[in-house]
Amino acid sequence: MMIAGILLAALVLPKAPMTVVIQTVRGEARVPVRWDQSFGPVLPAPQLLAALGAEARIGAGWAEVTVGPQVFRFLLGAPLYQLDGTLRPLAGSASLRRDTLELPIQFVSEMLPRAFGRRFRYDARAARLVDNAPAPAAALAAAKPAADPNRLPNGLRKGHVVTIDAGHGGVDPGNPGIFFPNGLKEKDVTLQLSRLLRDELRERGVKVVMTRARDTLIDIRDRGAYCTEECDLFLSIHVNSLPKRPGYTRVRGFETYYLAEAKTEDAARVARMENEAIRFEDPKNAEEQLNGLDFIMKDLQLNEHLREAVRAAELVQSYLQESHTGPDKGVKQGNLIVLNTARRPAILVEVGFSTNPEDAKLMTTRASQLNLVSSLADAVVAYLLEYERKVGQGAATSAGARAGQK
Ligand SMILES: [Zn+2]
């Protein structure tokens, strides 16, 4: 009976939105919706609660979310929550995913409007939750100090900088993009995606440095230098491809690399392919590259960033699932020269395979390009939020944080 009910609901309800807009007196924040196999549409609690000025406490088997005077107690992984001492049913469930609390979409679409009466209104068609609490809301003020002027509506500290590296360029076309339309090559698609990602990140209040914003070749050993002390993350955008062999056009999906010795033959292949750009560059410098990784792995600074890079790569993979129709090929490690020289956490995304027709279409159609970069931008924001919580003082690279400001 219950299963039939869920199936019916899935048939009758409109498709879950890609993002939910949270509108408060502090501004608007977009929170990505993830479709969970077991629990249906879910929202990442860190971003949602930051936008609402709310807080969560996680215990063994439960999570407590406090919004103003109300306390919602969710049973993790079960379709139940407790409010005002009463246990109530839920369509979805709250759960932990890679240490991040996720809340069912009903929290914004039903629970908040019901629990607060007029304060919250949810517009299902626009996927928008409006918080009508006046500023400064007595309820909000009780739960949280006044809105921090150094914070953006999405909860991020101001002043984050991300370097976007559009792979290849100029005389280096990257892979030939056999299923791309109009003779587009890898270098063109990485540039398109990088520009769109730049716009998405700026919209989210993140400053962006581009290694290139036009069709030009930047030496891959120089690209990392664009991510200096100021920069929080170096993100290199590439397109995968396979050499011709039986069935090669069927392989598709997305994967994200951080710098370490390649562990699998496939990862080594990607590293060789992306490192090949070196042949377009000054031959005098080519030799010193050969032992680049040995040298770099002894570099303490890079090792410190390894954990962060792995986490950023995990979040990119996790968020790309929302907008990518191909399989999640996972987080991988590879000896990628372009990641060598960044002095901050650095990752490389292979957004899809140009040797697969579906992936090629996904990466070159404007609507799906926008979805892909929106997921990438959401992943970057989620990473920065986590990073802020970890260092405990907001954007470590912002001037305020450097001055020791809490
Ligand atoms: Zn490439």
193 CA → ligand 1 middle, Å: 13
Average pLDDT, stretch 365-392?
Answer: 92
Of residues 303 and 142, the one with the higher pLDDT is 303
Residue 279 has pLDDT above 90, yes or no: no
pLDDT grade for 196, boundaries at 50, 70 and 90: very high
Kindly compute the dihedral angle of the four CA atoms of residues 42, 44, 47, 53, in this order, to the nearest 10 degrees: 70
Cα(72) to ligand 1 centroid in Å equals 47
Say if residue 239's pLDDT is above 80.
yes
Q: How many residues does the chain have?
A: 406
Ligand 1 geometric centre to CA of 270 (Å): 8
pLDDT at 219: 83
CA of 174 to the centre of ligand 1 (A): 5
Which pLDDT does position 37 carry in this prediction? 85
Which pLDDT does position 367 carry in this prediction? Answer: 95
- Whether the per-residue pLDDT at 135 is higher than 60: the answer is no
pLDDT of residue 102: 94
Q: Tokens 């002095």 identify what position? A: 343
125 Cα–ligand 1 center, Å: 39
Determine the distance separating the centroid of ligand 1 and the alpha carbon of 140, expressed in angstroms: 48
Expressed in angstroms and rounded, the spacing between residue 186 Cα and the centre of ligand 1 is 7
The pLDDT of residue 291 is 45
The answer to whether domain 15-143 and domain 161-394 are alike in fold is: no
What separation in Å is there between the alpha carbon of 30 and the centre of ligand 1?
A: 30
Average pLDDT, the chain: 82
Compute how many other C-beta atoms are within 10 angstroms of the C-beta atom of residue 181. Answer: 10
Q: Could you tell me the two tokens for 16?
A: 């879950």
**Res. 284: pLDDT tops 60:** no
Domain range summary for the chain, segments of one domain joined by +: 15-143, 161-394
CATH of 161-394, one of 1.10.486.10, 3.30.70.1380, 3.30.70.2740, 3.40.630.40: 3.40.630.40
pLDDT at 216 over 50: yes
pLDDT tens digits, 321-348 = 989 999 999 998 887 777 777 778 889 9
> What is the 271 CA–ligand 1 centroid distance (Å)?
9
| pLDDT, position 145 | 52
* 159 Cα–ligand 1 center, Å: 29
Measured in Å, residue 175 CA sits from the centre of ligand 1 at 7
Q: Measured in angstroms, how far is the CA atom of residue 57 from the centroid of ligand 1?
A: 42
Residue 190 Cα, ligand 1 centroid: separation in angstroms? 8
187 alpha carbon – ligand 1 mean position (Å) = 8
Give the pLDDT of residue 381.
Answer: 95
Q: What is the DSSP letter of 111?
A: I
What number is the average pLDDT over the span 193-222?
Answer: 93
How far out from the chain centre does Cα 387 lie? 13
Domain 15-143 has CATH 3.40.50.300: no
More confident residue, 83 or 198: 198
Is this model's pTM higher than 0.75 or not? no
- How many A from CA of 299 to the centre of ligand 1? 25
Strands (E), 190-338: 207-210, 233-240, 254-259, 328-334
Q: From the CA of 49, how far away is ligand 1's center (Å)?
A: 37
Ligand 1 center from residue 255 Cα (angstroms): 12
- Identify the top-confidence range among 112-121, 278-287, 386-395: 112-121
CA-based nearest residue to 339, from 278, 259, 271, 285:
259
Using one digit for the tens of pLDDT, what is the confidence trace for 92-134?
Answer: 899 988 788 999 999 999 899 888 877 888 998 889 999 887 6
pLDDT of residue 182: 94
Tally: H helices and E strands in the chain: 14, 19
